[in-house]
Structure 1
Amino acid sequence: MVSAWLRAIRVRFLLASIISVSIGLAIALWKHDALDPLHALLTYIGVLSLHASVDLLNDYWDYRSGIDKVTRRTPFSGGTGVLPEHMLSPSSVYRAGIAFLIIGAVIGLYFVAVRGIAIAIILAFAVAAVYLYSTSIVRIGLGEFFVALKGTMIVVGTYYVQVGALSIEPVYAGTISGMLSSLVLFINSFPDYEADRSGGRRTLVILLGPARASRLFIAFPSAVYIMIIAGVVLQILPLYTLATLLALPLALRAYRILKARYDDAEGLIPCMSSTVAFSRIVGIAIVVGVLVEYLLF
């Protein structure tokens, strides 16, 4: 039972939210020498709860809509399979999703009391978007945009909770973090093309078609690196964040595989693996680069 719930929550994908929170905390340390441990812990719990909620509710609605019954499941796409395989009941997954949503909302309300209206705006967006993601957002073609915005707001919200103010650095780094998360969603939607289309979803892959969408892939890492290099030049990001360039071969490998195998679910597994690794390594390198700058200067 425990393993089924860990699978349903998609534990390994929670790392994206952990990285986004860590970026916000690192920038707060770097720019203001500010770190409230209790608030940092609550931020991690709240953000991870909201992340778990959206994944659980996504599984529930995919099962209800029939998408889970026709999708080809891979280690990175096609849902968790806990409902089609009858490992958990739909009602229990739905209730767990709502419970995690409430946990995230309660923590958010605490931060609204502590930090005010800015957190209230972020919280309202988060709660509404989590609940509406599978039923509305991905059906009007905004899934990738939502994920990018979510990543940005996690970094900005984390920074604001620590500092009580806004600045360009968390917004800039948050945009990069959001694009990395959006890239993972984008690549993982290729194997789900037929199932998503039959279920009424409108991902970028469906809107563009797999062949044209495959050529769009390189725009994501290109935009990420342009922002990182420009950020260093403009002194928005520390010089040490250029270590993110070490992950470039992973993005290029993923692009080569995608161009050749965009319509082959099994053949795309190495591509999805490289893309996830690229996203995580770049995000972690940003955290480390900012912390090195803080420690040295």
Structure 2
Amino acid sequence: MPWQAIIGISRLKFLTFTLVTLLLSFSWQQWQQLPLPGDKLLLVSLLALCAHIAVNAWNEYLDFRSGLDLTTTRTPFSGGSGTLPQSPHLAPLALGIALSTTAVVALGGIWLCLETGWSLAWFGLPGLALILFYTGPVNRLPWLCLIAPGLGFGGVIWAGSIMALQGQVPTAAWWLAAVVMLMANNLLLLNQLPDVEADRAVGRRHLAIVYGSNIALKVFALQWLLVYVLIAVAILFGHIPLAAASVFFSLFLVLKMSQQLNSLEQPINALGINVALVHLVPLLLAAGNFFDHFWR
């Protein structure tokens, strides 16, 4: 079994954002003193990881079929894993991973609907649509392409995990859903910039292609601003604990990233800081939830 190829196709190192999103969800539910049944918690975690792997595997397979992976300049954060261009005979393996993980998500989602209620399908069906169509039609619609990652992480994984475990999504939960959504949008938005010309050649039409990199960077900056504004308002209204205010220590990374993006001297470093930020912010928020839960 070509384990190294499976790791590359699945992009396992990128699954950490799914894990921190789940951690934030579970910590917030615990802070709200909501029940966390172990069996459902494990299944929700498995399905979220399988959904992310499915998106990655479909992306690897379809980008190889379109020829995109043969023309991109790979960075640690963008451009594909390079597994299929180096080993074209593994394309059926990539397709198999994509199909099997998609099937696991669909079947697991049906079981959760039977256990929790079919209102969960309002999260599951859009999630399946994102898995199947993100690499194709979604990438040709710039504004949908911008928000699709956020819908997946903030809507399907964050809010959907609460729905699966609690049977409803409290109004307060949508504040952090919006925070996760904006961060996920920015994670993908900045990572698209190195691949603009290669993406354009295969017919993609994401924000940087249609409106230019300058507009994309302005949207990027606006979304990070909204992340911190939403967190501040959520603390003010008691939707998250005051201990979560430690997240504002991460602003120094935002300033550092802004300097590097403005100078355009070290764009790869800016990509790395952005990846660090979208992990650090949920971790600090989760730490605030846990701290307040155990010490109040």
Q: Provide the TM-score with structure 2 as the length reference.
A: 0.95
CA distance in 1, matches of 2:240, 2:287: 12
Q: Which runs of 5+ in 1 are unaligned?
A: none
2:128 is aligned with 1:127: yes
> 1:55-76: per-residue Cα shift (whole Å, max 9, x none)?
1101111111111111111110
Deviation string, structure 1 residues 26-63 (Cα, Å, up to 9, x no partner)? 22212133111111111110010010000110111111
- Contact 2:9–2:57 (CA under 8 A) maintained in structure 1: yes
Alignment partners' CA distance in 1, 2:6 and 2:127: 23
Give me the CA root mean square deviation.
1.5
Contact 1:155 1:171 in 2 (8 A): no
The equivalent of 1:98 in structure 2 is 99
Contact 2:124 2:160 in 1 (8 A): no
Q: How does 1:1-297 map to 2 (within 5 A)?
A: 1-86=2-87, 89-141=90-142, 142-153=144-155, 154-261=157-264, 267-297=266-296
2: CA distance between counterparts of 1:211 and 1:27?
36
For residues 227 and 23 of structure 2, the distance between their equivalents in structure 1, rounded to whole angstroms, comes to 18
In 1, Cα distance between equivalents of 2:278 and 2:163: 24
SS of structure 2 residue aligned to 1:191:
helix
How many angstroms does 1:277 deviate by? 0.2
Asked if structure 1 preserves the Cα contact closer than 8 Å seen for 2:127 and 2:152, the reply is yes
Name the CA distance, whole Å, in 1 between partners of 2:99 and 2:249. Answer: 40
Say if 1:4 and 1:87, in contact at 8 Å, map to a contact too: no
Cα distance, 1:202 vs structure 2: 1.5
Q: Is the 8 A contact 2:57 2:95 kept in 1?
A: yes
What whole-Å deviation, never above 9, does each CA across 1:159-200 have from its counterpart, x for those lacking one?
Answer: 122222221222211111121111110110010110111111
The answer (yes or no) to whether the contact 2:43–2:108 under 8 Å persists in 1 is yes
TM-score, normalising length: structure 1: 0.94
- Runs of 4+ aligned residues of structure 1 deviating over 2 Å after TM superposition are 211-217
Report deviation, 1:102: 0.8
Paired amino acid for 1:293: D
CA distance in structure 2 between the partners assigned to 1:164 and 1:32 by the alignment: 15
Q: Which has the higher helix share?
A: 2
The question of whether the paired residues in 2 share the 8 Å contact of 1:67 and 1:196 is answered with: yes
| DSSP-derived class of the 1:72 partner | coil
> How far did 1:116 drift?
0.8
Aligned AA for 1:241?
Answer: A
